Amino acid sequence: MTDQEGADWIPPGADLSRPSAARIYDYLLGGAHNLAADRAVAHKLEAIQPQVATVARRNRAFLRRVVRYLLEQGVRQFLDLGSGIPTVGNVHEVAQEVDAGAKVVYVDYEPVAVAHSLMLLKDNPNAEALEADATNTEAVLKSEPVKELLDLSEPVGLLAITLGHYLPPEPDPRSVFAAYRDALAPGSYVALTHLTNDFAVLRDPRVAETMRKTQDHIYPRSRDEVLALFDGFELVEPGLTTSANWRPDRLAAVVDPEEDGLYAGVGIKPRANRFS
């Protein structure tokens, strides 16, 4: 598909010359909603680290396992921050296969990602997409899609898959996560993955340097820095691990963290102790 042939999913005014993480990720996953500029960056990343597409696929598999896990815990509504471009196995598909009434709000600031999401969801009354910056927590939480679809007095699955490493030091990413945490009901969950330099696979500084040429710079963080994003949540087993090693499917082999590259974890906002 050429960029011109994809014009029906490119919103008017979109800057086709600026690569975006959402579209690069789409390409690495084998999707078709990406542009020449995005593919050029993806090729550079693959030249630096040939496993980058494998890391992306493991991250996507983590998302699917997390959604299934949250459904098993009774969660039926999801707020997906930095959701990117919908591809096969996205949140609403996984959730609504279990419960057609499960509700999902996707949030992204990338116009192509949102335009394609809206096109995909036009006949789905229980899923919506919002064009917004996830760091503007008030705008997200008070948006019409959130107000119409989600009941914040009941548990929500907050998904921040590969979001945190796009957040610069200012505003403090911990404050962003804390604002969402405070808005969610007890019994809600947060699930996140975060790029790190702790492991060899993505340690090469040229990865971050390459992403600086896009609209989405990356800020890898250490284990302690990623743990801090879970403040106020209790990590569920197996705690903070890597994307491939969080509750892997039965037949999946354990992956050496040095080859994984992304911290991953799920936390629950504790319910009030009725005896306190």
pLDDT digits (tens, 9 = 90+) for 57-66: 999 999 999 9
Residue 112 CB neighbour total at 10 angstroms: 25
- In this predicted structure, which of 9-18, 152-161, 254-263 has the lowest mean pLDDT? 9-18
Query: Which of 3, 4, 53, 48 has the alpha carbon at shortest distance from 24?
Result: 53
Alpha-carbon distance of 81 to 161, in angstroms, equals 7
110-125 tens-digit pLDDT: 888 898 899 889 999 9
Average pLDDT (29-49) is 93
Query: Which of 46, 25, 67 has the alpha carbon at shortest distance from 158?
Result: 67
- Mean pLDDT, all residues of the chain: 91
Q: Is the separation of the CB atoms in 163 and 134 below 8 Å?
A: yes
Q: Where are the domains of the chain?
A: 49-268
Q: Pairing between strand 234-235 and 262-268?
A: antiparallel
Strand, helix or coil at 189? strand
Four-point Cα dihedral 125, 28, 22, 198, nearest 10: 120
Alpha-carbon distance of 168 to 155, in angstroms, equals 28
b/e per residue, 62-81, with b = 16+ CB within 10 A? bbebbbebbbeeebbbbbbb
Q: Is the separation of the CB atoms in 161 and 191 below 8 Å?
A: yes
The alpha-carbon radius of gyration of the chain (Å, integer) is 18
| Predicted local confidence at residue 252, as pLDDT | 64
Is the overall model pTM greater than 0.85, yes or no? yes
144-156 tens-digit pLDDT: 999 999 999 999 9
> What is the percent of the chain with per-residue pLDDT over 90, rounded to a whole number?
77
Alpha-carbon distance of 143 to 122, in angstroms, equals 18
Class of domain 49-268 as given by CATH:
alpha beta
181-232 tens-digit pLDDT: 999 999 999 999 999 999 999 899 999 999 998 989 999 999 999 999 999 9
Identify the H or E element spanning 128: strand 127-131
